Structure 1
């Protein structure tokens, strides 16, 4: 089986590549663990000025692998849904590393960045997207909320009104809207995207590395996310035990419209 996440160094860039193209780079716990190891390796790498995260195949990531819900018992126990605070904290801690990395982190997006995949992109400092990329947080259509930093970081980035507009309906948006909201830093044709990212890294590399790292820490410290992450975990702990969550997952797997109960 190929590596779930592939890493490598190109010049002064540490690359992290989601490598489940046959599953649209859907994220399960083993892939999260691979991301954890990858960002740790990036922190240790010498002569690196930035981290670029991208997806192999047709898109960045379609979000959480729905089959992963049945796999969580192997890691967190058969009653994992009753211990959702612990499960959420484990996922959150990994994406927090991308935000708190001493190096600038750049999500290089194409095709689609949805759900947990978009939460990964939001945990990065910058988002560069190929034309026609779709972005979204569809968790409410499963009876859940974005709980791995998506609700908190999105609100911090674009404000509560627009965050509600994206999260509550759970519908993806196109790049024109995403760019006008400030969700992405730059847009380029897909065949020019990697070069656009490299040029940006080259600009960062002109600045002093220690100053860049400290500037990152100060800016992020001004808008601390810890309280929001706690609220996300609290809400998800309730929702994952709801009847509507069961209905949402079953409907998504069956590709049929859910009939919500409100319970």
Structure 2
């Protein structure tokens, strides 16, 4: 299908929205292995804002150009003293996050599912960005690591929220404490990869296209329910399920999902 550029490549990030409602979001600093410098943080957050406002969006595929998904923080670009105007890390400049957390958390905050296609190298902040996706498709030989302790730091880009429920506690502690490198195949065993595939971008796009053929109202409601699973108690989750279902049942898109299934045809949904 034709692709419509909605955020031209700017040496950091590009977005192309397909006719099926799948947006291809690419980190485009490939010559630097998509390492995170200040401009990269700004452009990734800008991309998230564009996606939040995008009409007809059904799903997102997040990938990196060149030899790596993202090699993590560009240490050389952060060697200078911070500007006096730079907010403190403890300031919440993006809702519940600072800007470093937002580049990873915004994928969970996005209303539609995000599928990360991970290849080459995925270190530190890159792994935390990938962890923000709903689903991760990883090449089996991808080099991965939680790198922050190597630099005498702690993971601070939302990882502790995003890894909750994915990785067994003792395994996560070891990966954080030692910054041990592991492969995509190991990541799947640990819970950090959903699928392992020789062509992660193709597999991620197939998954996104399948999601794009589901009732977009129901998909967004399901993502909201997933987001609240770890914060709410049982009674609250049960009530929230009922609220979301009540709002969807017998709507045009819900009826269309049933009819398309019965008639064995592609659904024609109204956009959200």
Do the aligned partners of 1:132 and 1:175 also contact (CA within 8 Å) in 2? yes
Q: Which is bigger in relative contact order (C-alpha 8 A, separation at least 6)?
A: 1
- Residues 1:84 and 2:92 aligned together: no
Match of 2:108 in 1: 99
Distance (Å, rounded) in 2 between the aligned partners of 1:104 and 1:196? 15
Superposed, 1:45-64 pairs within 5 Å as 45-64=54-73
Distance (Å, rounded) in 1 between the aligned partners of 2:153 and 2:55? 40
Q: CA distance change for structure 1 residues 100 and 209 in 2, over 3 Å: closer, same or farther?
A: same
Contiguous gaps of at least 5 residues in structure 2: 1-8, 233-272
Match of 1:241 in 2: none
Q: CA distance change for structure 1 residues 144 and 76 in 2, over 3 Å: closer, same or farther?
A: farther
- Residues 1:203 and 2:215 aligned together: no
Match of 2:227 in 1: 220
Residues 194-237 of structure 1, C-alpha deviations (whole Å, 9 max, x = no match): 32122212221232111111111111111249xxxxxxxxxxxx
Structure 1 or 2: more helix by fraction: 1
Distance (Å, rounded) in 2 between the aligned partners of 1:76 and 1:129? 38
Alignment size in residue pairs: 219
Question: Matched residue of 2:122: which SS?
Answer: strand
Distance (Å, rounded) in 1 between the aligned partners of 2:80 and 2:218? 43
TM-superposed CA distance for 1:76, in Å, is 4.3
Radius of gyration: which is bigger?
A: 2
4, 13, 35: which one pairs with 1:5?
13
Distance (Å, rounded) in 1 between the aligned partners of 2:26 and 2:208? 17
Question: Matched residue of 2:98: which SS?
Answer: helix
Match of 2:254 in 1: none
32, 48, 51: which one pairs with 1:42?
51
Compare 125-134 and 200-209 and name the one that shifted more: 200-209
Do the aligned partners of 1:128 and 1:185 also contact (CA within 8 Å) in 2? yes
TM-superposed CA distance for 1:71, in Å, is 4.7
Q: CA distance change for structure 1 residues 196 and 181 in 2, over 3 Å: closer, same or farther?
A: same
Superposed, 1:139-158 pairs within 5 Å as 139-158=148-167
Distance (Å, rounded) in 2 between the aligned partners of 1:35 and 1:71? 21
Residues 42-69 of structure 1, C-alpha deviations (whole Å, 9 max, x = no match): 2222222111111110010000110232
CA RMSD of aligned residues (A): 2.2
Question: Matched residue of 1:171: which SS?
Answer: coil
TM-score under structure 1 normalisation?
0.76
Match of 2:261 in 1: none
Do the aligned partners of 2:30 and 2:65 also contact (CA within 8 Å) in 1? yes
